[in-house]
Amino acid sequence: MDSSKLLKNVYGIDIHFEDLVYQVNTPKRQEKKSVLKGIAGTFKSGELTAIMGPSGAGKSSLMNILTGMTKSGVSGKIEIGKARKLCGYIMQDDHFFPYFTVEETMLMAATLKISNKCVSLKEKRTLIDYLLNSLKLTKTRHTRCSNLSGGQKKRLSIALELIDNPAVLFLDEPTTGLDSSSSFDTIQLLRGLANEGRTIVCTIHQPSTNIYNLFNLIYVLSAGQCTYQGTPQNTVMFLSSVGLECPPYHNPADFLLECVNGDYDDHTEALAECAKDTRWRYDQQLMQGETGEPPSESQVAKFNESQSPGQTQPQVHKIEIQHMESSKDLTRHTFPPTEYMRLWLLIGRCHLQFFRDWTLTYLKLGIHILCAILIGLFFGDSGSNATKQISNVGMIMIHCVYLWYTTIMPGILKYPAEIEIIRKETFNNWYKLRTYYLATIITSTPVHIIFSSVYITIGYWMTEQPVEMDRFVKYLLSAVVVTICADGLGVFLGTVLNPVNGTFVGAVSTCFMLTFSGFLILLNHIPAAMRFIAYISPLRYALENMVISLYGNQREQLICPPTEFYCHFKNAVTVLRQFGMEQGDFGYNILMILAQIALFKMLAYFTLKRKINTN
């Protein structure tokens, strides 16, 4: 298949909005602030539109409303409707998984967005080659995303969204952080994409004259009002019509911004009134020569008639544009894989990411092994020596806290690091959040099981614990479930709090759970009214379970060294009695930890969803 054909077949979607009002709450709750004050406009297919204006004018707000990212506080009419699913949104900052190369990132996007049933893997590779070539990224195809320059990252973001050929592309400040040459290249690229029939809308700050002239339409916002909507070429004439004369050799874009900024007195109302005249959208020279006046209504009508639909400006290429008659036609030229298929793809991606990040794998495993050996050496024969049983229970406590702490902290930091990538990918319909969340659970759980098992097994055998399979399995199981529980709580905290507060709350909650685990203060020494805290500590359930695994179920007597006159803990049941764990129920304790895992994982999903949906 000709891969370029996949991209050239474009739906022409015009975006029209009227009386668009956006209000936000102010600190004084009774008043609302109007960010957008009843603006109107049309962004046409085949056109590259720039939304400009001073800082705080409402550009990002307008963009977020049109993309559907902001919904509350919005009123008015937006004609884009179901066509939103044919839109791509490229946010200001470019976020990628750092351990994948450009080619791998593209391939993952292609497999997540397009089903193999409609485009084979071979065709996807050809399409990727075509896109990388068109966006001048071929030389970086084997470069990891973290090593790309700002301009390359931006082009990769664009390439990723172009894979499934969106009809509309929104870009928030695509040139921010780029040098003038990269900025020009990026906008020229966007112009090319618009010429193919797409509707491309971006916000931009202070473009150079060259860049300014590449746009088909300039839409200026000032204090929530539209103060110009017309071609770049008509800017000087428009400003002149309200008495603002652009000095010779001055960049019209700069002058326009100076005017709406109020550098030459406040002309906002006059400009807003004049900007209601949509005839500034039409190219003067094209229609009637330089008259200093916008074209008349009849000239506009005549001009429109002479243009085919979707072509309000001269078209550079002849392209296939299919115009939408109704929302029934709203299907992409390609279709996505099922959510089940995406789940498998995401599991694969999570695995690959895990193995690429050596700090998550080799370093963590190495530290687990090292710590287990060190603790084993410290405690020696504490598992069998009747004189060392308080130390042995202390060692179990250390194992619980070690596993808890080393799991909760990465959990807290996991999502804050990935949130922008997930937001971008879920918003652009790469997959559903629940699919991603499930994939991360499916990937991370075996990792926790393996790591905690390695750690516990080393410690168990080095410290001469009873060589009985059922005791070992129960001991290990308790350690594994408490590790998974720590991950659940960590992820939950990470989706509610920022990393600084999350690590603080994580550390404090661990201290409390440790205090009430039943070792530092015995349960029956805690005032009855406070005892309930102990019953919500997963560490208590885990500690009790690990202790009863070792000392319960009629364990035979421990070894009392011949040098000792009396060994108080020779009978294993004495240890249970000492810590008030005689009545401990293994199954109940496991259930309580499992219930907390389910609770944390569920809460974390909803808080993650809320976080993704708030910008």
Ligand X SMILES: Nc1ncnc2c1ncn2[C@@H]1O[C@H](COP(=O)(O)OP(=O)(O)OP(=O)(O)O)[C@@H](O)[C@H]1O
Query: Looking at 51-59, 236-244, 265-273, 295-303, which segment touches ligand X (CB under 6 A)?
Result: 51-59
10 Å CB burial of residue 205 (0-12, 13-18, 19+) is: middle
Binder to ligand X among 27, 30, 31, 55 (CB under 6 A)?
Answer: 55
Binder to ligand X among 3, 49, 60, 444 (CB under 6 A)?
Answer: 60
Whether the CB-CB separation of 260 and 268 falls below 8 Å is answered with yes
Largest CA distance in the chain: 114
Tell me the CA end-to-end span of the chain in Å, nearest whole number: 40
- How does DSSP assign 19-65, residue by residue? EEEEEEE-SSTTSEEEEEEEEEEEE-TT-EEEEE-STTSSHHHHHHH
Query: Looking at 50-58, 127-135, 237-245, 509-517, which segment touches ligand X (CB under 6 A)?
Result: 50-58
Please work out the total of residues on this chain that contact ligand X, with binding judged by CB under 6 A.
10
Binder to ligand X among 2, 5, 19, 56 (CB under 6 A)?
Answer: 56
Q: Cβ of residue 35: shortest distance to ligand X, in angstroms?
A: 4
Q: Cβ of residue 179: shortest distance to ligand X, in angstroms?
A: 20
Indicate whether 58 belongs to the interface with ligand X (CB under 6 A).
yes
Q: How far apart are CA 225 and CA 486, in angstroms?
A: 50
Q: How far apart are CA 383 and CA 390, in angstroms?
A: 10
Indicate whether 546 belongs to the interface with ligand X (CB under 6 A).
no
Binder to ligand X among 7, 10, 13, 35 (CB under 6 A)?
Answer: 35
DSSP code for 559: B
Whether the CB-CB separation of 520 and 514 falls below 8 Å is answered with yes
Choice between 206 and 557, CB closer to ligand X: 206
How far is the CA of 518 from the CAs of 15, 467, 504, in angstroms? 64, 26, 23
Binder to ligand X among 41, 53, 383, 490 (CB under 6 A)?
Answer: 53
Please write down the HEC assignment for all residues of 480-515. Answer: HHHHHHHHHHHHHHHHHCCHHHHHHHHHHHHHHHHH
Work out the number of other CB atoms within 10 angstroms of the CB of residue 418. 18
Binder to ligand X among 48, 57, 190, 548 (CB under 6 A)?
Answer: 57
Query: Looking at 55-63, 95-103, 333-341, 482-490, which segment touches ligand X (CB under 6 A)?
Result: 55-63
Q: Cβ of residue 396: shortest distance to ligand X, in angstroms?
A: 50
Q: How far apart are CA 520 and CA 502, in angstroms?
A: 25
Tell me, rounded to whole angstroms, the distance of Cα 257 from its chain centroid.
Answer: 33
The sign one gets for the Cα dihedral 96, 100, 103, 106 is: negative
Q: Cβ of residue 63: shortest distance to ligand X, in angstroms?
A: 8
Q: Cβ of residue 24: shortest distance to ligand X, in angstroms?
A: 4
Choice between 58 and 502, CB closer to ligand X: 58
Indicate whether 171 belongs to the interface with ligand X (CB under 6 A).
no
Choice between 61 and 111, CB closer to ligand X: 61
Query: Looking at 3-11, 49-57, 452-460, 489-497, which segment touches ligand X (CB under 6 A)?
Result: 49-57
Question: Binding string to ligand X for residues 243 to 282, with x set by CB under 6 A, is what?
Answer: ----------------------------------------
Q: Cβ of residue 270: shortest distance to ligand X, in angstroms?
A: 21
Q: Does residue 336 come out as left (phi exceeding 0), alpha (psi in the -120 to 50 range) or beta?
A: beta
- How does DSSP assign 266-282, residue by residue? --HHHHHHHTT-GGGGS
Residues 8-27 that bind ligand X (CB under 6 A): 24
Choice between 24 and 467, CB closer to ligand X: 24
Whether the CB-CB separation of 315 and 46 falls below 8 Å is answered with yes
Q: Cβ of residue 57: shortest distance to ligand X, in angstroms?
A: 4
| E-only strand ranges, 294-453 | 321-323
Query: Looking at 39-47, 58-66, 427-435, 578-586, which segment touches ligand X (CB under 6 A)?
Result: 58-66
Q: Cβ of residue 64: shortest distance to ligand X, in angstroms?
A: 8
Q: Cβ of residue 55: shortest distance to ligand X, in angstroms?
A: 3
Choice between 61 and 152, CB closer to ligand X: 61
Q: Cβ of residue 268: shortest distance to ligand X, in angstroms?
A: 14
Q: How far apart are CA 58 and CA 104, in angstroms?
A: 36
Write the CB contacts of 138 (distance below 8 Å, at least 6 apart in sequence).
129, 132
Choice between 26 and 147, CB closer to ligand X: 26
Report the relative pairing of strands 225-230 and 87-90 from DSSP bridges.
unpaired
Contacts to ligand X by CB under 6 A? 24, 35, 53, 55-61
